[in-house]
Every structure is written in C-alpha cells, then in structure tokens.
Structure 1
Amino acid sequence: MMKIFLLFLCLLWTLVSSEIVPTPHYRTPKNIAFSSHGGGSSHHIWVMEILKEMNHRGHNVSFFSRGDQLRFANGYPVKTRQVGGTTDFLRHPLILDLLSTHPDHTVISMGAMEACMMNYPTEFFELQNLFQSEKIDLVICDSFAISCIDTAIVSKIPVMITSTFGLFADDDATYINNKLYSEASPTTQDESMWARIYRDYISVPRIMRTLSKRLAHVHAFQRQLGLTPTFDASTDRYNHVPKMVNNVFGIEVARRHSPLVHMIGPIIKASYPSLDAISSEFLNRHKKVAYIAFGQHASPSDKDVKMLMQTLLRLLDEGHIDGILWARLDVQQLPPSMEISSHPDILLMDWAPQFAILEHPSTAFFLTHGGVGSLHEALFNAVRLFVYPFFGDQPTNARAIERVGVGKYMDLSNPTFDDSFYKTFYQKLAQVASDPNHTLQTNVDRYSAYVQVAASNAVKRSADLMEESLFASDDQGRLYYRNDVGYEIHWLKRNNLDVYAVFAVLAMALYKLVNLGLLEWKRHFLTGQKVKVT
C-alpha cells in the first residue's frame, strides 16, 4: 500500500513540475492577395510556393494579374482574377522587339517601366475594388507592380514587395549598381570616375525626364492620391515597406541590408517533373553533356544560334563534351550547312525537365541566359555555369557568376560576331567545359552547399515574414519597429556631417593661425636681418 502511495506522489509531482511548452496564439485565418504585371515564372512560381504554405497555415490566397500570367497559379490553392488586361508587360511592343537582341540596359529598362505604368490609374481602381470586396488583409506586390504597391499604401493595408534582385533604395550602397537603369556591372569597382559622373548626373536624369514626360498622366494621378510621383520600386518612398528578395549572396552582391529587406532565397519548388524516357536514355548514354536553355522570354538571334552551335560542335569534336542537349532550339535558325537532326550526340527538345537534367550526373555544364531561377537550380545541383545574357538582370547576374567563381560569361554589350568574338567565346566556353584544374567545380561544390542550406527552410521563413506583416503591422500597415532609426534623425546628424563640419572649421582656423604665425615670424625674421646688415 505504501508503495502505491509513493508511486502516486511521484506521478503527482511529475505532473506539477512538468515543463510548459510555449504555444503561439497569434494566428487567425486572413485574406492574402498577390499581384503582378507579368515577367514569367521567375516572378511568380517562388511566390506561389510561399502562398501554398500560407494556405496550409489556414489563410485564403488570391492572385490578381494579367490574363496570360494566371496560369502560374495552376496546381496551387490560389483563387485568380484578371487585372490590367490580358498580356504580360514583357509582350508589350516597347519591349517585345528587343527580346531577340542584346539591348542597351537602359533602353529595355525604360521600356519595362513605361509598359508597367501606362495603365496605372485603371489598375489602381481595379485593385482598390478587389482589395475591398475580397477583404484583403495583406498585399504581396511584384516589384514591377507599382499600382499594386500604391493601392495597398493608400488603402492602409500591410504590403510586401517581391523581387529577384535587391533594387531598393534602403538596400543600396554607393558602390553598388542595383537600379533597373544601372550598368551591367554589379559594383562600381571597375568603373571610371567619368563613367559614374556621366551615368548618375547626365544619362539617368535624362532618362527620368523622358519617362516623366511620357507618364505625365500617371504622375498627375499619383499627386491626386497624395503620393510622390514615381515609376519604379527603387525610390526611397518605399523605404518603410518590407521586401522579400528571392536570391542568394554571391549572385546578389553582399552588402549591409535594411531591417526591411529579406534575402530569402533560393526558393526551390517542392517537386519537379522527372526525366522522360528520351532525355533519360540520352543522358545515361553520355558522360559529359552540355545543357543549353534560355528560358521563356530570351530569344537568341540567328547569329547567336550559329555561333553557339558551331562552338558546341567544336567542343564535341575535340572531346571536351560528348553530348549536346538543347531545349527549345528553332532549327530553322541554323545555317543549311549545319545539319544536326540525325546526329547521335545531339538531342533537341521542345520542352525539357530542367531540374532533372541538371540533377543528372552526366550534365557537365549549363549554358543559360542567366535568369535567377535557372541559376538557382543549377547551383543547387552543383552544375558549372556559362551565362549568355540578353536583358534585364541577366547581364548583371552573368558578371556576378564569374565574380563568385562558379562559371564564366560572355559580354554581349556589343556583339560583333567576327573571328575575334568567336575566338573569345570558344576559349571561355572551353574553359567551363573542360575545367582543367577543377577550380570551377570545386567552387561550385562549395557554393552549392550554401545554396542547399539556404533553400532548406526558405519557404517557411518567407511565410513567417508574411505572417509578421499580417499580424504585427500598425494601423498604417507598417512594421514601425523595423524602420531604420536613421530616418528619424536629420541627415546632417545621421551622417555625422555636423561633426565633420566642426573639424573642418577647426582645421581651417588652425591653418589660418599657422599661416598668421608664419607671416609674423617671417616679418620679424626679415626685420632682424635688416637691422644686422645696417
């Protein structure tokens, strides 16, 4: 009996002294809307992965975009509505004709900003009505969807901006080129002083003036709303807005970050299509395959295709590679003399299971346009890269890839396609294909570990950030506690310019006193000399 009593006391003590497990109690179902103007899979799929997690947590999710972009919600628990018309902004005539070229960085940036902003007033009212009727509690806006960001701000709904690169003012540094209209180089390290002066004080202001004239009706409408006129997300007007950047350090140049800018990438899909029978047989039959794909929007010209295939065939003949797998190649672009349809070591595919191809051990390297989605997938699978960029962030990504040591790129800012250009391309591509000292692959293997670690909980971390904005924002829709305290301090004091000014005045005063002392000494000395002579 005593033993039973003691056992009862032990059990009671265990229950009384047991630990308390902290349990979150903030979450209630909310309504979330994601809106974009287009841009393809790199602007949408990773956000859909986060929204799927948000739906799993009990929230209702909607997607408002151009008609041809709504397909990116297929397979996700997301309600869709068309906003802003039927067509991706990249299909606008201002941009479409440039996609098969290697356009000047500023030209295509101007076209993109104008195409996104010209229907701003109509889109504003469409979104405002939707936000009200759907009782939206949090708005997620693609960085090109300025009408979405401003509608949320005016409606005082918490808003977050999504992007694949850190183009924001509160993510800036004087030595970083992170604007849509900046140069292709990620930093100013190799830029001359005169080049920077010309760009920042002549070229860019001229672009801004031109855009302001073309979008005068938009700026007038923004002023009516009580907003400072703007046409891109890099303005400091959005410094108080949380941002999520689906990228990794290395591709995105490392620097100090704002408390409101979150480097959340890379977000890798939960699952991908496996190899089909044809691609599987081809890869299993080869050991060193070059995989070539240029995404949804980049369209290589006939000159591009000729140089690419001619160089790849040379690498094949020389044994650097033993197979070529090219996705979405238009064979009509090849010269008649270049017959490859029956070549046993070349496989052309209308659509390719890219992630599965990159995962296969026979894939030696990836020749890509440099979109972040493709870069993330290649680096996750530790595949060497050669970037052949076209537009947008691709030229910048290309230079970043070479800078971090995981691949090479071709500078296409002025493609001549002459013998010298062909030679340079061959030498660079051969270096990636053969990697004689295994330097590139060693770097890729190390960097791949970072990418895999960063990807492991990326979706959940991003969903946590969305819920922070949902439940912690104030009545103005802002995360006030994350605002940089520097914004509350006068810019003179914030940059210690008042202190520097004092030291400058003291230095000038000291300089003046020393000069006066020297003059007095000199006069006294010369007077003494004259007295001696006399």
Structure 2
Amino acid sequence: MALSHDVHPSRKILLVVTTGGFTHAGPVLEIGRALAERGHVIEFATLDGQESWIKPNEYGFVTKIHTMGSGPTHEQLNDHYRRMQAWDVRKGIEPTFISKSMFDSYWPQTYFSLKKIIEDPKTRPSMIVADFFVEAANDMHVEYDLPIAVVCPNWPPLQLPCPYIPGQPGFQLPGTLTSEDASMWLRFKNEMIILLDLPAIMRLFSRTRQMRHRHGVSRPLHKPKKPDYLIFVNSFIGLEIPRDLPPTCSPVGPLLSPTWDPLDTKCEEFLHNHKSVLYIALGTHIILPHKDVAKIIVGVSRLMNEGLVDGVIWAIPKTGRNDIDTSQSFNTTIKDITTDISLADMLGNKHPDWVFPFFAPQRAILDHTSTKLYFTHGGGSSANEALFHGKPMLSMGIFFDQTANTTRLVAGGVAESLDKFTFTSDEIYMKSKKILDSGKDGLYRQNVLRLQRIAHIAARRKNHAADLIEETMYDNELRFDKNGKELRPMHLQTADSRMSAWKANNWDLWTVSALGLVVVMGSMGFVTKQLWKHQQPILGNLHTLILGGWRLVNTSIVNRNVQL
C-alpha cells in the first residue's frame, strides 16, 4: 500500500552554493536530484553569473534560481589560488586566513539574501542544503529554527573531535592518517600547527566578529562540536578515515552525477589510437610554474621512450598556461624519429602523442579503457571520480583536502605521492613505472578494483542523505507548538549535546564516588590510628577479660567435679 501524502508530504528545499566554484555545487545538486526524484520542489540560490551551472538537460529538476549578488573577482580568485599553491602547511596555516577573510567578505550579502527568501512566505523553504562555505546557512538555522544540511568535502575542522586522528582536517601534515601508525613526533607537530598559529586564529575570529557586529549580528557563528544540524561528507569510508560519528553526521559520497559529458572528437580519436594513455589534470585554477611543467614533460617522455605510455592527455585551461615559457624545446620521438619540438607546438597539439585541451571531459576519459594512469592534484571530486572509474593515480596535493586525500590514496594502495615543492622528473618516471609495471593483476590493480567496488556501493548513499533530510525536515515541522515553542529536541541529536560536560561525561558521578572513597578511606584511617594509639589499654582490658572468663570456666568445672 502506498503511503499517503500526509505521511510523506513534498516540501520546498533550497540548495545554496556561493564561492568555491562548481566543484562545490555538484555534490549539493546531486543531493537535490535525489530529493527531486521523491517529489520535493528544488530551488537553487547562488551568486550572480553562476546560474549557468543549472543546465536544463542536467539539472532540469531545479524549478527556480535565486541570485545573491556578485562574487569574487577574477583577480581575487587568481591571488587566492596562487597563494594556496605557494602555501606549505608545514610552515603554518596563517596564509590561508587571507583567503578565508576574502571569502568571508561575501557573508553579509548571502546573509541578507537568505533572510529575504526565508521571511517571504512565498519563498520560504522547509530545509536548506548548503555548501560548507555558506556560513550564513548556520545563521538561518539559529534565527528561524530552520533545519539545514551542510555538505563538506571531508570531515570539517574544529567539529566532530576525534582523539585518535591527529590535527585538523585540511591542516594536517603530509603522511598523517591516524595515531595508530603515526609517530609521537608527527602527532605532536600536527597538534602544534593550530597552537602556534593561535594568535593569527584569534585575529581572524576577531575580524569575523567585528564584521558580524557591523551588520547587526552579535551572536557568534553557530558551529557546535556535535552539531544540531546535518553534516554530509562527500567521501566514503575506504578513502575517508573511519571515525566515531553522531547521528547527525554521515559520509554520503561519492556524490557523482549518473551521467557525464561524452568524449569530444579529438579525445575520442586520440584514445582510440593510443592504448596506454596518461591523463594529467591538476585542477582548473592551478597555475604551474614553468619549471614544474618542464619536469613533468621530461619525466613523462622517459615513460613514453620505454613504451610504458604511448599517449598523454594534459588538460590545461587558459589561465593555467600563463607562466609557461612556450619557447623551450624538448627532445622527443615522433613516429620513431627523434627530434626537438617546442612547447608552443606541443601546446598547439602538433605532437601526435600529446594533446593539450583547455577543457577535457574528465569522467569520459577516466572511464575509457585506454587510460591507464591519472596524474591528479588529489581534490575530492577528482579522487572520487578516479576511484569510481577504477584508475590508479599519481597524486600531488596542492592545498587543503588535496594533501590529505593524497595520503589516503597512498594508504589505500591506489596511488603514489609527489610533493609539489620537491618532486623531480626522475620521481615521476620511477613512481609511474612502479604503477604501470604492476600490470593488470598487480597489487595496484587489486586495490583499485577493491575501492572501485566500494565506491559504486557508496555512490548510492545520496539516497541516505535524502532520507536524513526528510527525517530532519518532518521532525522539525512537528516538534514545535503553534506558538513556536520547542516541545522536544531534534530527534537525531544525542542527549550529551544538551547536557553539561560534567553530567555528559559522568564527571559528577566520578567526583562523588571519589569523595565517597576519600571519606571511607579517611574513616578507616582514623579508626586504625585510634586503635593503634590506644592499643596497650585495649589489649590490657582484653587480656583481663579473657583471663577472667577462663577463671570462671575453670571454677565451674572444679565445682561440678566436687558435686560428683
């Protein structure tokens, strides 16, 4: 029997993505797709110019788009990506705060735009699903008792504390997984990253607090360690490290579209004519210095000379070519003839075994049988797609989750890592050869297949995300009375979130028990001390008592014998 609409009513759900690019929007939209398939009305709020993301053939389920003002300029984003490319987490996290402040500067327009949407009965949603950059969504949750879900690429920093995972997600040193295999020194250094930059962190918090005050919000940002809202992680256990989680948090990735762009004519022809292709894509916004580009070409050329690779597809957008010296030439083989070719000619696709598109249909390339190895920056979307399509990787993390993902991919046995500051041509050659030489039945292929199968199962969890959203939405609607008074807490929230630390951790019981033990032990000590202090009189009295008793018994026996 089908459920009635009273049991499973459709609702309006607002998806919100501001800064961060389409890699932030894609996962949010995939959750929206799962909710739309259940009959819910899906609307999308974003910054001006990003409406083009909602392609009718791909996201036709979005019924309305709300714009919330202009976003970062090209210059701001260029500065951000160059700053992050130069950032070395081993030297501290303060450089990231410049970018954080830039992105935070878009909070006011997002905050007031969302308020306008929510306060209008015609546009008010029943739920907000937001990218983790949209901190104004947390304010809507607090001010309007509106349930929200926040989508993160991995475990969020400063929330969901886990003592056996050192450091904070996004700020961990390369090679860090859990305390199980980490040395004490590595664990210590991970914790010190935050502590040493504490003054800079406090300055960032102060700037944020002042910005909020200027716009009439005196309340601090709502980010409890165990949140009273949903947190979805666009990853899966196998890539992400297992940890204890409250019911409000769940890994639901890989959040991938069920369809993808097909191969264009050039890539399709290239993959048809080459049977062992290396695909290189280091992110849309990464601008590699020329010396790094040259090192990659030299290392890959050695692979081609040995027949381990017979073709290369390297996607470099226009901005990514800004620092390349196109006049440099490289010694290469074309149709068994060794010759020199300029980088300008290579970028112009005049080498038959190299192709440099501005944009590549990544998932179609990764899905093709001719693609044997993927050289990636290890971003969340790239890692998810590579594992879903079953490809081993060279991973060179540039910043944030990319570094952590690289460590996880290596630990999972599906990748070799490169350090963006120290990698060499020889290292590219040796590590690629190590993967490619392992063959079809090698350990890399075994681990890739293992994680590919897990990823395909985990990809269904967008429906689990939709389940939790429906649960939270319906619970929120019916746990308040008609005057807005809360009748009961959120059904997924654990009780300790509403209790004092003393009670939640049973510290009060331990304190009372300890005091009781002190009293008992003290009493016993006092009694023992008194007994020891007065032992002679007590022993003397006891001796007299025993002796008197013995005489009495002895006298009785004598009298009885006389009578007999």
Name the TM-score, length of structure 1 as normaliser: 0.81
Aligned twin of 1:220: 213
Q: Distance in 2 between matches of 1:173 and 1:296?
A: 33
Q: Indicate conservation of the 8 Å contact 1:266/1:451, yes or no.
A: yes
Q: Indicate conservation of the 8 Å contact 1:34/1:64, yes or no.
A: yes
Aligned twin of 2:462: 459
Residue 464 of structure 1: how far off its partner (Å): 2.3
Aligned twin of 1:160: 149
Q: Indicate conservation of the 8 Å contact 1:50/1:459, yes or no.
A: yes
1:450 aligned residue (451, 454, 476): 454
Structure 1 stretches of 5 or more lacking a match? 1-19, 522-534
Q: Distance in 2 between matches of 1:250 and 1:190?
A: 22
1:120 aligned residue (107, 112, 121): 107
Aligned twin of 1:87: 72
Residue 468 to residue 291, structure 1, CA distance change in 2 (3 Å): same
Q: Indicate conservation of the 8 Å contact 1:39/1:89, yes or no.
A: no
**Corresponding residue pairs, total:** 489
1:264 aligned residue (242, 249, 252): 252
Residue 444 of structure 1: how far off its partner (Å): 0.7
Q: Distance in 2 between matches of 1:208 and 1:432?
A: 41
Aligned twin of 2:371: 363
Pair 1:310 & 2:304 matched: no
Q: What is the letter of the counterpart of residue 303 of structure 1?
A: K
Most deviating of 165-174 and 38-47: 165-174
Aligned twin of 2:193: 199
Aligned twin of 1:62: 43
Aligned twin of 1:342: 350
Most deviating of 280-289 and 443-452: 280-289
Q: Distance in 1 between matches of 2:499 and 2:37?
A: 42
Q: What is the SS of the residue equivalent to 2:93?
A: helix
Q: Indicate conservation of the 8 Å contact 1:101/1:300, yes or no.
A: no
Aligned twin of 1:17: none
Aligned twin of 1:97: 82
1:491 aligned residue (497, 501, 512): 501
Q: Indicate conservation of the 8 Å contact 1:266/1:376, yes or no.
A: yes
Q: Distance in 2 between matches of 1:131 and 1:449?
A: 41
Q: What is the SS of the residue equivalent to 1:97?
A: helix
Q: Indicate conservation of the 8 Å contact 1:141/1:149, yes or no.
A: no
Pair 1:149 & 2:134 matched: no
Aligned twin of 1:353: 361
Residue 315 of structure 1: how far off its partner (Å): 1.1
Residue 81 of structure 1: how far off its partner (Å): 2.2
Residue 165 to residue 333, structure 1, CA distance change in 2 (3 Å): farther
Higher relative contact order (Cα pairs below 8 Å, separated by 6+ residues): 1
Q: What is the SS of the residue equivalent to 2:375?
A: strand
Q: Distance in 1 between matches of 2:2 and 2:475?
A: 23
Most deviating of 245-254 and 327-336: 327-336
Aligned twin of 1:428: 431
Q: Distance in 2 between matches of 1:432 and 1:161?
A: 37
Residue 288 to residue 238, structure 1, CA distance change in 2 (3 Å): same
Q: What is the letter of the counterpart of residue 385 of structure 1?
A: M
Q: Distance in 2 between matches of 1:426 and 1:209?
A: 44
Aligned twin of 2:443: 439
Residue 182 of structure 1: how far off its partner (Å): 4.5
1:403 aligned residue (393, 407, 411): 411
Aligned twin of 1:471: 474
Residue 111 to residue 253, structure 1, CA distance change in 2 (3 Å): farther
- 1:168-187 equivalent positions in 2, closer than 5 A: 169-176=158-165, 177-184=167-174, 185-187=176-178
Q: What is the SS of the residue equivalent to 1:249?
A: coil
Residue 197 to residue 153, structure 1, CA distance change in 2 (3 Å): closer
Q: Deviations over 1:444-500 (max 9, x none)?
A: 111111101111x23333222222222221347997121112224432343344566
Residue 292 to residue 108, structure 1, CA distance change in 2 (3 Å): farther
Residue 302 of structure 1: how far off its partner (Å): 1.6
Aligned twin of 1:6: none
Q: What is the letter of the counterpart of residue 215 of structure 1?
A: T
Q: Deviations over 1:402-438 (max 9, x none)?
A: 11111111123xx146xxx443343323322323671
Q: Indicate conservation of the 8 Å contact 2:14/2:129, yes or no.
A: yes
Residue 199 of structure 1: how far off its partner (Å): 2.6
Residue 100 to residue 306, structure 1, CA distance change in 2 (3 Å): farther
Most deviating of 313-322 and 326-335: 326-335
Q: Indicate conservation of the 8 Å contact 2:282/2:376, yes or no.
A: yes
Q: Deviations over 1:80-106 (max 9, x none)?
A: 222142337994476243255455472
Residue 24 of structure 1: how far off its partner (Å): 6.8
Residue 289 of structure 1: how far off its partner (Å): 0.9
Q: What is the SS of the residue equivalent to 1:448?
A: helix
Aligned twin of 2:241: 253
Residue 237 of structure 1: how far off its partner (Å): 6.5
Q: Distance in 2 between matches of 1:462 and 1:334?
A: 48
Aligned twin of 2:285: 297
Q: Distance in 1 between matches of 2:361 and 2:85?
A: 24
Q: Distance in 2 between matches of 1:486 and 1:237?
A: 11
Q: Distance in 1 between matches of 2:200 and 2:8?
A: 46
Q: Distance in 2 between matches of 1:498 and 1:287?
A: 68
Residue 325 to residue 119, structure 1, CA distance change in 2 (3 Å): closer
Q: Distance in 2 between matches of 1:430 and 1:190?
A: 30
Q: Distance in 1 between matches of 2:74 and 2:388?
A: 30
Q: Deviations over 1:299-324 (max 9, x none)?
A: 32222211111111111112222211
Residue 87 to residue 197, structure 1, CA distance change in 2 (3 Å): closer
Q: Distance in 2 between matches of 1:114 and 1:94?
A: 13
Residue 158 to residue 488, structure 1, CA distance change in 2 (3 Å): closer
Q: What is the letter of the counterpart of residue 29 of structure 2?
A: M
Q: Distance in 2 between matches of 1:127 and 1:253?
A: 34
Residue 172 of structure 1: how far off its partner (Å): 2.6
Q: What is the SS of the residue equivalent to 1:465?
A: helix
Identity of aligned residues (%): 23
Q: Indicate conservation of the 8 Å contact 2:94/2:200, yes or no.
A: no
Residue 246 to residue 479, structure 1, CA distance change in 2 (3 Å): farther
Name the TM-score, length of structure 2 as normaliser: 0.77
Q: Distance in 1 between matches of 2:2 and 2:39?
A: 22
Q: Distance in 1 between matches of 2:406 and 2:206?
A: 33
Pair 1:53 & 2:58 matched: no
Q: Distance in 2 between matches of 1:479 and 1:288?
A: 57
Query: Cα RMSD over matched residues?
Result: 3.4
Aligned twin of 1:527: none
Q: What is the letter of the counterpart of residue 65 of structure 2?
A: T
Residue 102 to residue 71, structure 1, CA distance change in 2 (3 Å): farther
